Structure 1
Amino acid sequence: MNSDDFGHVHESKHADSASQDPASLAALGWQPFFAEQISVDVLSETPPARVVAVHRSGLQILGVGLDETLPPCADVTVGDWLLLDRTQPRSSRILSRKTLIKRRAPGTDRQVQLIAANIDTVFIVTSCNQDFNLARLERYVALAFEAGITPVMVLTKADLVTDRPIWIDAARSVSDRVPVVALDARGDDPQAKLSPWCQPGQTVAFLGSSGVGKSTLTNALAGNEAIATQAIREDDAKGRHTTTRRELHLIPGGCLVLDTPGMRELQLADAASGIAETFEDIETLSTHCRFGNCQHEREPGCAIRAAIEQGQLEPARLQRWRKLLAEDRFNSASLAERRTKDRAFGKMVKRVIKEGKSRREC
């Protein structure tokens, strides 16, 4: 894992009986994609284990006959598969990820924050109330597309509104490639309506702001109330934080569900292709502009301006597209600058160490 923090393996006291004895690697989401990366000999010498929880104090891993805790490591995130080296845990190998959700970390240090790895489907959760925000939904969809994950929009609290079709149509306006499911998170709806994506061995994630029902949905799929939930604030329909860490829950006889804390800030970086897929309608229109470098302002023959004038495209959607593109370019450039500085610093450290050794040898 290329980290000196992995010096010890600690026995876990994980209490989830469903995860203490997984039926097989397949139950934990093992797929041919991961098996193709290793040989049979390697598999027997270093057993595969999946990171199912990230705590401040360490990483919870599960495998066949494995339920242990490793020290934390910045390069590892929930959902990762690793080959556990019991004699030298620091040498445990992280398998290549099938998918990866990441964002620019909050703050000014210009770093990438890993959210989760190897997710098959992401449920983008929002409520049919004041929490509903098209700009936020577009960000989550772009994040999913960029990661190569199947996105599904889930509208909770649909049982509390009388104009459900209006909310569904608004969600569908984000992308015609993303299914929209409206449900009551507290009843039988989640198991019935989300079952096509929640098959055994699949890993799904609930993403969205606090209080929209992510933990409630996880409980509904699990058939219990293992995860604490709280009601929203009545004055502004804002949610309270209930989940405080990213953790995979193994649903008996079903999928693995990632429950995450609500993200107050979601800054996109290196997500140009995801944005293009989310705004496929605008990207397609732009190919019909008279000029290849059209800025879609006052240029003659602009297909996008024509679509707005004809009522085929909302001006607000164009503005949100521009905002995301500008944000992604800025953050991508900032992260590239940070990586360049980190490489330069690493080279300087190696040079100083080498010069120090030379002086001692003399």
Structure 2
Amino acid sequence: MVRDYSAFLPGAAPARRERTVLERLGWGPAFARQIDVDALTETPPVRVVAVHRSGLQVAGDGIDEAIPPGPEATVGDWLLFDRVRPRSSRVLERKSLIKRRAPGTGRDVQLIAANIDTVFVVTSCNQDFNVARLERYVALAFDAGIEPVIVLTKADLTEDPAPYVEEARKVSDRMPVVPLDARGEEPPEALAEWCKPGWTVAFLGSSGVGKSTLTNALLGTQAIATQGIREDDARGQHTTTRRELHATPGGCLVLDTPGMRELQLTDAATGIADVFEDIAALAARCRFADCRHETEPDCAILAAIEDDSLDPARLARWRKLQAEDAFNSASLAERREKDRAFGKLVRGAMKAKLDRKR
């Protein structure tokens, strides 16, 4: 059966109609512009809706199946599905990509999610609240070009959530902060502004902060298992064990993710600069362009510390993230250079072999 995908190509005339399967999966002009009608019919578009250890679960128009590992893809990616050689399915250019340095002693990069429109950075109004962790998540979102929203759960369990809201707003003035009770009826209404039909949102945060509870609230079900927190330290255990997209009744796609105990930034200098734009603005006023903000004369950052307009703890966190990102990004750049050198070596060897045959 040949399917008609012409409505998804650039320039297609808008019409009042029921949203198609692909549109309900988040398909739009950003992806349609990358392909032509022939490619659409020969290799139909599918979206990665879940990542398993054994491979990827993809869904499309009349397609819902598992494919083996092969494409360098993550949940949320769009593929041009090659039925004969699924490992060769092409990944379409992404609107956004969330990544981190993979856990462990190596310097590999782990892809977390692609084509996300809004990231809900979730934390609780209890001992789990940590400004440094929030800054990391928000930098991750900014660097990916994704709109972040900080969601403060368990607001109903504290006498006054205002101090938590105030501290969260200090992370950046470029995003909203939403306190709520994840277990009540608040989430669908409080988060409705960002949960639009065809939109893809993701909940990120540590274990036990209520990500799965929020996902269930948006889905209107209890399909995702949840667990309580330990009373002694307000820490949670992993409930979600895989990254998977879920469709809400309103047409939004929601990604629930496992809690991340380790979030090391890599190749995220832009996101860090966006979170700490107040420090970047001060640094631009220093006398020396290479000022290290330690003992140099006419250092605007040191002056801000002196007059209490800049918190020394925030400066320390900025330094730490910059150093971490520089270290991890340098390792990434070295690997890329080695890959290029190896590729050049292989091409040279192949050329020499061909020359000998002539």
Q: Check conservation: 2:71, 2:90, Cα contact below 8 A.
A: no
Which residue of the partner structure matches residue 321 of structure 1? 318
Matches of residues 1-362 of structure 1 in structure 2 within 5 Å? 23-73=20-70, 75-348=72-345
Distance apart, 1:58 and its partner CA: 1.7
* Partners of 2:203 and 2:257 within 8 A in 1: yes
CA distance in 2, matches of 1:304, 1:131: 30
CA deviation profile, 1:34-85 (whole Å, cap 9, x unmatched)? 0111112221222111000000112111111111110123611000001112
Q: Distance in 1 between matches of 2:214 and 2:351?
A: 55
**Structure 1: which 5+ residue stretches go unaligned?**
1-21
TM-score, L = length of structure 2:
0.90
Shift of 1:299: 2.0
How many angstroms apart in 1 are the aligned matches of 2:121 and 2:54? 29
SS in 2 for 1:50: strand
Percentage identity across paired residues of the two chains = 71
SS state at 2:21 partner: coil
Q: Which amino acid aligns with 1:214?
A: K
Question: Which range moved further: 302-311 or 190-199?
Answer: 302-311
2:83 partner letter: R
Distance 1:165 1:119 in 2: 29
Cα displacement (A) at 1:285: 1.3
Q: SS of 1:274's equivalent?
A: helix
Report Cα offsets for 1:118-170 as digits up to 9, x if no partner: 00000000011111111111011111010000000000001101121100000
How far apart, CA to CA, are the structure 2 residues paired with 1:26 and 1:171?
34
Q: Give 3-state SS (helix, strand or coil) of 1:307's partner.
A: helix
Work out whether residues 210 and 262 of structure 1, in 8 Å CA contact, stay in contact via their aligned partners in 2.
Answer: yes
- In structure 1, distance between residues paired with 2:220 and 2:20: 19
Give the aligned residue type for 1:327. Answer: E
The verdict on how the C-alpha distance between 1:349 and 1:41 changes in structure 2, with shifts beyond 3 A counting, is closer
Could you say what secondary structure the match of 1:273 adopts? helix
| 1:352–1:290 CA distance, 2 compared to 1 (3 A) | closer
TM-score (norm 1): 0.89
C-alpha offsets along residues 13-48 of structure 1, whole Å, 9 cap, x if unaligned? xxxxxxxxx942111111110011111222122211
Q: What amino acid sits opposite 2:228 in the alignment?
A: A
Distance 2:288 2:91 in 1: 47
* Gap runs ≥5 in structure 2: 1-18
Separation in structure 2 between the aligned mates of residue 23 and residue 229 of structure 1, nearest angstrom: 32
Aligned residues: 340
